[in-house]
Amino acid sequence: MSSLPVDLYRADQVRALDRRIIEQHAITGFQLMERAAASAWQELVGAWPEARRITVLCGSGNNAGDGFLLAGLAHDSGRKVRLITLTDPENLAGDANRAARLTLGRIQTKPFLGSDQLTDADVLVDAMLGTGLDRALEGNYLQAVKAINAAGRPVLAIDIPTGLHADSGRVMGDAVQATLTVTFIGLKQGMFTGCAADYCGRIVFADLDAPEEIYSAVPPAARRIDYASQASLLSPRRRTAHKGSYGHVLVVGGDYGYSGAVRMAATAAARCGAGLISVATRCGHANAIPLAVPELMVRGIEQSAELDPMLSRASLVVAGPGLGQDDWGQRLFTKILDSALPLVLDADALNLLAREPARSNRWILTPHPGEAARLLDLDAAAVQADRFQAIEMLQARYGGVIVLKGSGTIVYGGAGLPMVCTDGNPGMASGGMGDVLSGVIAGLLVQWLSPLQAAALGVAIHAAAGDRAARQDGERGMLATDLLPWIRRLVNPMHDSPVKQCE
């Protein structure tokens, strides 16, 4: 077993890796199946050492073959094993058929009849369908998935939970809610975004001793990112630095009733190390915001022309937090678009952009699924059904760097691979988190990072801050402002150790 690698693959790419192992390295498909079963069995014993009664549900294809061999290992260890088949084993082909023949006759085997067959198991093993699923579940497969989920037992899924699409993470009618998924050869990209986290449980990777050189011939489809992989972008500051060295962020928004949005975005930019922060907001909010955060320079504006002097001093603009979509917000948004500054657009700025789509390489767009749907003239369900496709469509239509928020946030800039953040937690599903993220990205972008670097690092810091806040006080009841102290710590991985003074 190994820790999770960074490369993510589509199902067809993993099959290509399998073929290369078999064709070029004198390893048979059945040997790979034996290794997969042994890896999954090792993880099962490690997770549930006291489990004595194991029920294995085998379907079709090589996934079923893995299940048959695991059942044999469990039987040989002295466990009480029940094999339940969803396809006549006689109809299995190739290595799966060989695995079934080695196992049948030694272990009690019955076809799937209903949920009563699962109630006495200590652990259920899902070996029904693997990565080849391309249509909605039906018939006994659908009923078996529902029975597994209703059984209330720990579940180990082999390679991928049945019903989960390997490329998109879409649920194909229904899907097994696994406690633990042991996946092989290459990580499937669909297991790390959208609703997949509700079905995969803890993910363990087993490379099955695949030769390292096979991976060079099959480029990945996407990559995982987390704070650990991105923190190296945070370089130490020079002793001769001053506030002008680290940019001037202008945050525009905060219509009546939404002053908190611009305050959170601006404070997050400051906590990331931006040198200067200005806020343009409604006049009625201009006095209150600096009472809470005196470091912010706040100006109340009612006419778009009043933005001109602020834009002339700014290094970039964050637009959208609390902006609104009425005439005031529209006029300010139009003025911002007319500037030549880099932009981080969120919330209502995205909704206004959706009304009159444009393309630019100077912005970072940070939509959640609903905003992404409006930008693409789709519904949110269509966006969530294939988030990789959605972010590619967004980037093709609007340009720049796109941050598609949600569980498994994806960052994509057109060139290179999509990056999927695997940090974060459900406690972050609360108001204001997007405002904080836009400020984090802006605060990093003015510190000499590229837009793609700032977006990826910002997403990783934001998610890691949420995880640390959850570990300290729990997920439920987390506020966006709870992330701010952690953000400051995370942008200082080496306590901001300065480099030597210039000669």
What would the mean pLDDT of 437-457 be, rounded to a whole number?
98
Task: Check whether residue 233 and residue 215 sit in a common domain.
Answer: no
pLDDT above 90: residue 255: yes
Residue type, 233: L
Q: Does residue 25 lie in a domain region?
A: yes
Tens-place pLDDT, residues 379-393: 999 999 999 999 999
Task: Check whether residue 123 and residue 265 sit in a common domain.
Answer: no
Task: Check whether residue 264 and residue 141 sit in a common domain.
Answer: no
Q: What percent of the chain has pLDDT over 90?
A: 94
Q: Distance between CA atoms of 48 and 63, rounded to whole angstroms?
A: 21
Q: Which of 176-190, 230-244, 267-281, 332-346 has the lowest mean pLDDT?
A: 230-244
Q: Distance between CA atoms of 79 and 149, rounded to whole angstroms?
A: 23
pLDDT above 60: residue 500: no
Q: Distance between CA atoms of 396 and 72, rounded to whole angstroms?
A: 50
Task: Check whether residue 285 and residue 166 sit in a common domain.
Answer: no
Tens-place pLDDT, residues 452-472: 999 999 999 999 999 999 999
Range of the domain at 273: 228-490
Q: Which of 147-151, 157-161, 267-271, 490-494 has the lowest mean pLDDT?
A: 490-494
- Report CA 342 to chain centroid distance, whole Å: 26
Q: Distance between CA atoms of 348 and 357, rounded to whole angstroms?
A: 14
Q: How many domains does the chain have?
A: 2
In which band, very low, low, confident or very high, does the pLDDT at 241 lie, cut at 50, 70 and 90? confident
Place of tokens 């970039």: 316
Radius of gyration of the chain (CA): 26
352: which 2 tokens?
């206004």
Helix axes 369-376, 348-355, angle to 10 degrees: 10
Q: Does residue 191 lie in a domain region?
A: yes
pLDDT above 60: residue 60: yes
Q: Which of 11-20, 63-72, 241-250 has the lowest mean pLDDT?
A: 241-250
In which band, very low, low, confident or very high, does the pLDDT at 5 lie, cut at 50, 70 and 90? very high
Residue 329, burial from CB neighbour count under 10 angstroms (0-12, 13-18, 19+): buried
Residue count (the chain): 503
Residue type, 412: Y
In which band, very low, low, confident or very high, does the pLDDT at 108 lie, cut at 50, 70 and 90? confident
pLDDT at 495: 59
Tens-place pLDDT, residues 160-208: 999 999 999 999 999 999 999 999 999 999 999 999 999 999 999 999 9
Residue type, 220: P
Average pLDDT of the chain? Answer: 96
pLDDT at 499: 42
Residue 237: CB atoms within 10 A of its CB come to: 16
Q: Distance between CA atoms of 266 and 264, rounded to whole angstroms?
A: 5
Which among 443, 428, 317 has a CA at the least distance from the CA of 368? Answer: 428
Task: Check whether residue 297 and residue 353 sit in a common domain.
Answer: yes
Residue 45: CB atoms within 10 A of its CB come to: 16
pLDDT at 237: 87
Phi and psi (nearest 5°) for 297? -95, 110
Q: Distance between CA atoms of 63 and 159, rounded to whole angstroms?
A: 8
CA 73 to each of CA 81, 182, 228, 332, 410: distance values in angstroms, whole numbers, following the listed order: 10, 16, 37, 67, 39
Q: Does residue 501 lie in a domain region?
A: no
In which band, very low, low, confident or very high, does the pLDDT at 502 lie, cut at 50, 70 and 90? very low
Task: Check whether residue 202 and residue 90 sit in a common domain.
Answer: yes
Task: Check whether residue 312 and residue 397 sit in a common domain.
Answer: yes
Read off the CATH number of the domain in which 341 is found: 3.40.1190.20
Task: Check whether residue 239 and residue 161 sit in a common domain.
Answer: no
Task: Check whether residue 124 and residue 254 sit in a common domain.
Answer: no
What would the mean pLDDT of 368-383 be, rounded to a whole number?
98
80-96: b (≥16 Cβ within 10 Å) or e: bbbbbbbbebeebeebb
What would the mean pLDDT of 99-107 be, rounded to a whole number?
93
Q: Report the relative pairing of strands 415-421 and 410-413 from DSSP bridges.
A: antiparallel
477-500: b (≥16 Cβ within 10 Å) or e: ebebbbbbebbbebbeeeeeeeee
Phi and psi (nearest 5°) for 204? -120, 135
State the first-to-last Cα distance of the chain, in angstroms, to the nearest integer.
50
Judge whether 73 and 45 are in contact, CB under 8 Å: no
Task: Check whether residue 215 and residue 283 sit in a common domain.
Answer: no
Task: Check whether residue 310 and residue 425 sit in a common domain.
Answer: yes
Read off the CATH number of the domain in which 146 is found: 3.40.50.10260
Residue 411: beta bridge partners? 403, 419
Q: Does residue 500 lie in a domain region?
A: no
Q: Distance between CA atoms of 372 and 410, rounded to whole angstroms?
A: 12
Tens-place pLDDT, residues 315-332: 999 999 999 999 999 999
pLDDT above 70: residue 245: yes
pLDDT at 257: 95
